[in-house]
Structure 1
Amino acid sequence: MPEFLSDEQLTALRTSLRRAGHARFPLLRPDIDDLAAQTVADLWKYLLERAPGPALGADAIQRIAHAIFNRRAADLFRKTRPMLAAAAVAAPAPATEAEPADERAGDLATTALYRSMLRVCVAELSTISEQDQMAVAIATGLASSAGDALTAAERQRLHRVRKRLAAAIQRELGEDAYKLLRDLS
């Protein structure tokens, strides 16, 4: 094993990747351990094949690992999105007597907030430029990009659109909706 990372650092890196995965990608929770293992394998490959140069510090290695992990998670999400969308649309299970009334009311309030957020997003998306609309369509799979990854310009456009949507949600629905949105991402 190369001397890039000690066993303790490797264990800490895997734990960090799993924790970040559970926090940032809740829909991919069953796959997080596999993604973390694949990321560590890719990181080892990168470190072994890397051109000679200055040694990387633990922080740099961690940033590289998280970048690899985020890309793998995004790719997996793109592949599994149709199945996740179908599961999200499925009818909710009927309430049981064991489920408290407060919990059901909280679900209804959250659902209403999500609907309001959706209305704000649709209204805001109708006002964005045609290039931004195309970038969103490619990212969501509504437009064909022939399986190519988004370009840097398209990713920057998406970033600006996301910020614009978040600002609109905060402006229209208040800080609680914006906090919920931040907690989901």
Structure 2
Amino acid sequence: MIVTLKECFGAIVFVLIGFNGSIVEMARTTIREKGISFKLPTNLTHGTRIIIKGKMDVGKEIQVIVEDKAKTNNESCCLIFDAMIEALTVINSKNVIGTWPYSVYHGGNKMVPFEVGMEARASPQNESSLLDIYFDGNNQGALAVDACEFTTFENIKKITLKGVQQVTKLAFEFDFT
């Protein structure tokens, strides 16, 4: 399957194309001042990778939020990067699971590239679903942070980006093995 991202009249449109070339699913999200929300084209499963690339303003904080849509378990995962204080923080279900030093050399440029990667991982030992996350700002090197834990991936339907100036790539890679 192939997922494409198109911008049209202030909205982001995803098109999920099947192996035979047919359109499997389309999802549309509206760009809002407070952030950009992307609906996931399908449920996360073990091995699913999500890659988000774009441009960020080094004077602003960016947030990547993955939420349990049903909020039955009040679960969420939030990655926050603040270039001004040179720190990357991850919050899982309202608890800070870690803060890491991370600086981005911007050479006076206000806008720099960033990349956030996530990989879904089932953990049979404790019957939970884990979301591994890494962050790379201005090609300074990817920093892998502690995984966010969810009871299940089934209710995760969207990712919200706040403080991001532009999204240049959104890719979903599925593991069918």
- TM-score scaled by length of structure 2: 0.22
- TM-score scaled by length of structure 1: 0.22
Q: Which has the higher contact order (CA 8 A, sep 6+)?
A: 2
User: Larger % of helix: which?
Assistant: 1
Which structure would you say has the larger Rg? 1
User: Larger % of strand: which?
Assistant: 2
